[in-house]
């Protein structure tokens, strides 16, 4: 029996060979009426589901997944190019947040969609650690500050200022007063761990913006873990596990227009 459960409904297959041509592993063939994958080739399947999604009639199922459970990619459900341009130009790092939690259902929906972000070789070896409650993030902040105050902590850059600001004035320069934290880490099977993490966070950021949720990349957490490695355990990270983090919550600020950065990047054309 096929362990990747590749199946074709003969009554729906039009023999268009779209699945044969689009398979990245080139393991789908059609010598008869319907496409097939030979048993000896199944181990080469990268589980990308291209075959199921490219089939125009929904004839293909794989990995126990059925095409009727997928979302239809109809044009009216996709953003226009103008909308995407505006989203990317208008994205802002939010450092002012409302004093409320984002509902768990909203967070769960965001993370479920972000799990579809691309990974190198379709390894899909990412782990999402989410702090979904303001009180829990406050407890983590207190744990972090205490760890950074230990004599053995190696503080540099802005960390000493952040600790002092928190202790003396109650200012949160680490988590920016956000109610939530998302930490994405890559497992040992990840081929492009750092890139996979960055892509997933970028997808999360854009999707959050469309859901009325503000975000800011939390680079401070990288420096904090370097200064106090014992904090890795609190974040459920191994000694060498790559990770990055993002803060998020409902913004307490509303931006009225985009910035103007069209000339910020150096654009070159090959051969010139």
Contact 68, 215 (CB under 8 A): no
Q: 7-69: which CATH topology?
A: Alpha-Beta Plaits (3.30.70)
- pLDDT band at 157, cuts 50/70/90? confident
In the chain, residues under CATH classification 3.30.70.20 are 7-69
pLDDT at position 154 = 83
- The values of phi and psi at residue 62, to 5°, are -160, 150
Statement: residue 181 has pLDDT above 90 = yes
In the chain, residues under CATH classification 3.40.109.10 are 83-249
57 vs 152: which has the higher pLDDT: 57
Instruction: Please calculate the CA angle 156-157-160 and round it to the nearest 5 degrees.
Output: 65
pLDDT at position 14 = 97
- pLDDT band at 1, cuts 50/70/90? low
Distance (Å) of CA 17 to CA 52, 66, 159, 173, 251: 12, 19, 58, 56, 48
| Percent with pLDDT over 90 in the chain | 94
Residue among 53, 100, 111 at smallest CA distance from 252:
100
Statement: residue 247 has pLDDT above 90 = yes
Tens digit of each residue's pLDDT (9 = 90 or more) over 19-69: 999 999 999 999 999 999 999 999 999 999 999 999 999 999 999 999 999
Tens digit of each residue's pLDDT (9 = 90 or more) over 63-86: 999 999 999 999 999 999 999 999
Reported pTM? 0.93
Statement: residue 127 has pLDDT above 70 = yes
Q: 83-249: which CATH topology?
A: NADH Oxidase (3.40.109)
pLDDT at position 119 = 97
Statement: residue 2 has pLDDT above 80 = no
Which stretch of 155-159, 220-224, 228-232, 255-259 has the lowest confidence by average pLDDT?
Answer: 155-159
- Cα–Cα distance, 164 to 242 (Å, whole number): 28
For the chain, give the mean pLDDT: 95
């Amino acid at each position: 029996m096929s362990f990747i459960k590749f199946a074709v409904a003969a009554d729906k297959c039009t023999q268009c060979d779209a699945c044969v041509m689009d398979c990245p592993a080139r393991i789908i063939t059609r010598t008869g009426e319907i496409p097939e994958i030979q048993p000896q080739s199944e181990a080469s399947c990268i589980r990308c589901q291209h075959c199921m999604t490219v089939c125009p009639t929904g004839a293909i199922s794989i990995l126990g997944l059925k095409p009727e459970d997928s979302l239809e990619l109809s044009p009216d459900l996709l953003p226009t190019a103008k909308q995407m341009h505006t989203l990317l130009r208008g994205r802002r790092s939010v450092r002012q947040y409302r004093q409320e939690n984002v509902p768990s259902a909203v967070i769960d929906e965001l993370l479920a969609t972000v799990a579809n972000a691309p990974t190198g070789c379709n390894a899909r070896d990412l782990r999402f650690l989410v702090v979904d409650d303001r009180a829990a993030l406050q407890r983590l902040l207190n744990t972090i500050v205490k760890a950074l105050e230990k004599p053995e902590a190696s503080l540099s850059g802005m960390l000493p200022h952040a600790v002092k600001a928190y202790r003396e004035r109650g200012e949160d320069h680490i988590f920016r007063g956000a109610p939530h934290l998302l930490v994405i880490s890559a497992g040992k099977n990840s081929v492009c761990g750092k890139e996979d993490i960055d892509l997933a966070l970028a997808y999360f950021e854009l999707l959050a913006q469309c859901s009325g949720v503000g975000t800011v990349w939390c680079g401070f957490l990288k420096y904090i873990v370097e200064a106090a490695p014992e904090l890795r355990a609190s974040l459920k990270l191994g000694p060498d596990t790559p990770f990055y983090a993002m803060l998020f919550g409902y913004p307490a600020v509303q931006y009225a227009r985009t910035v103007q950065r069209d000339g910020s990047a150096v654009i070159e054309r090959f051969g010139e």
